[in-house]
Structure 1
Amino acid sequence: MLHLILYEPEIPQNTGALIRLSANTGAWLHLIEPLGFDLSEKRVRRAGLDYHELARVSVHPSLEACIEAISPHAVYAMTTRGARLYTEPRFVPDDAFLFGPESRGLPDEVLERFDSAHRLRLPMKPGARSLNLANAVSVMAYEAWRQLDFAPL
């Protein structure tokens, strides 16, 4: 199973969209507190439609608690400052992908936990700042799943 980790997500619509992604891919969605919203908010439910019951979603009090709970094979931090393209590593089941909050990305103290081989980036044209969180997570999830031959997660 692939693990998608949102570190302190801020925008309920992005999380709702990713609940839907989780339900449709079989990836497990992990949310690291504090959340910038309540999961019962109408905006989360609207974006996730009726997929909440079909998705695996867990809320963790910290990144450390999340990593301990899921024991992933590897954790890849997604950042615009990543040294490697998201297509370079060979992913395996139980890999985890960590994404930062929408307004600021992963903080330096979190990024410093990962060596350059585990800091990945999505290519963008020069001068672009970042992609929408739900879009970035979707691109990464489908690349990892593609590498696993779209086997059931």
Structure 2
Amino acid sequence: MSFHIVLYQPEIPYNTGNIARTCAATQTPLHIIRPMGFSTDDRMLKRAGCDYWHAVEIHYYDSLEELLSKYKGHRFFFVETKAPRLYTDVKYRDGDFFVFGKETNGIPQDILEQHRDTWVRIPMSTEHVRSLNLSNTAAIMVYEALRQVSFFDLQ
């Protein structure tokens, strides 16, 4: 039983490392869409993930289409700041995927338009901040989904 985190072309190794740590703690598979803005051998990536890389189920893809075709029948939620629906308005189910875009410009608009029904956002003040940190957003999403299913077997 699990949810899934998808990083669409991540650019910052610390964010990916922190997300990997969250994945290890929650038994959440991590899916990465290439290209990445860093090497998986990057010292900062390993440092951010601490000693948890062995506990992360990680998969790499060359395109979002490759991932979507592999997991037909699953639900994919695209997390972006301008989505019309709040993330708390959704009842999540085992096997759902949460897709996060690049740190610099998010998920491309054409992809979002194709998935308008599953586009969600975390509320925040945009007066001084354009977005939350990617690793914080991923943690918020996966823990809300886990809360809704009574945290599966997590202690």
TM-score of the two chains, using structure 1 as the length reference: 0.95
SS of the aligned residue for 2:67 comes to helix
Percent identity between matched residues is 39
Give the distance between the partners of 1:131 and 1:72, measured in 2 at CA. 30
Is 64-73 or 14-23 further displaced after alignment?
Answer: 64-73
Give yes or no for contact 1:73–1:92 (8 Å, CA) kept in 2: no
Displacement after TM superposition at 1:69 (Å): 2.3
Give yes or no for contact 1:72–1:95 (8 Å, CA) kept in 2: no
Tell me the equivalent position of 1:125. Answer: 125
Amino acid at match of 1:132: N
Tell me the equivalent position of 2:100. Answer: 99
| Inter-CA distance 131–93: structure 2 relative to 1 (3 Å threshold) | same
Displacement after TM superposition at 1:15 (Å): 0.4
Query: Where does structure 1 lack aligned partners over 5 or more consecutive residues?
Result: none
Give the distance between the partners of 2:10 and 2:96, measured in 1 at CA. 20
Tell me the equivalent position of 1:19. Answer: 20
Displacement after TM superposition at 1:104 (Å): 0.6
Displacement after TM superposition at 1:44 (Å): 0.6
Give yes or no for contact 1:78–1:99 (8 Å, CA) kept in 2: yes
Give the number of aligned pairs: 152
Tell me the equivalent position of 2:75. Answer: 74
Displacement after TM superposition at 1:107 (Å): 1.0
TM-score of the two chains, using structure 2 as the length reference: 0.94
Give the distance between the partners of 1:72 and 1:8, measured in 2 at CA. 23
SS of the aligned residue for 1:112 comes to helix
Query: Where does structure 2 lack aligned partners over 5 or more consecutive residues?
Result: none
